[in-house]
Amino acid sequence: MSAHAAKNANVSGWFDGVRHVYPVRVYYEDTDAAGIVYHANYLRFAERARTEMMRCLGTEHRSLMQSDGVAFAVRSVDTEFFLPARLDEPLLVETRVDAVGGASMRLTQTVMRPADAADGATEIGEVLVQMRVRLACIDAGLRPARLPGAVRAALTELLKNQ
């Protein structure tokens, strides 16, 4: 883990090999009347995890917009729901880079219940939701833009080590 990643590990998650792991807890606002996570909130968990993965790689969205004039937009998400998460449960969101293109990337994000649901658990347990996400890099005019070199290098390094 780099010094930057270690400094942000508590709030940004961590890398376990090539997979980024981000902990979340299910709050009341995430659930329906039965205490089960509302399906759209898994997308929110995944978005936070992607943002924190980029932060662990040394890139923040605000600085990308300011210095390179680019941002990431979700092009598509294919989602499979296997099991529900419930109120107060700790969860882990695993993010893996599957492909890096000139102006895009593909990721697999898995929301899971830790093997030991005690606070701070980090071992993989039951898979709840799996998402295949395609992101596009866009400029201020919402047109496709090339991934900045440092971002491409960091993502490609993860791919090489798989």
- Domain extent, residue 124, equals 3-160
pTM recorded for the entire structure: 0.88
Of 146, 135, 162, 118, the residue nearest 46 (C-alpha) = 135
CA–CA gap between residue 31 and residue 123 (Å, rounded):
24
C-alpha dihedral sign at 14, 161, 150, 145: negative
- Select which of 16, 32, 88, 116 is catalytic: 32
Contact 42, 89 (CB under 8 A): no
Helix (H), strand (E) at residue 61: helix 61-63
Q: What is the CATH number of the domain that holds 53?
A: 3.10.129.10
Task: For residue 32, indicate whether it is catalytic.
Answer: yes
Beta strands 14-16; 126-139: pairing state: unpaired
Mind listing the pLDDT tens digit for each residue in 19-49?
999 999 999 999 999 999 999 999 999 999 9
Mind listing the pLDDT tens digit for each residue in 112-162?
999 875 555 556 689 999 999 999 999 999 999 999 999 999 999 998 888
How many separate domains does the chain show? Answer: 1
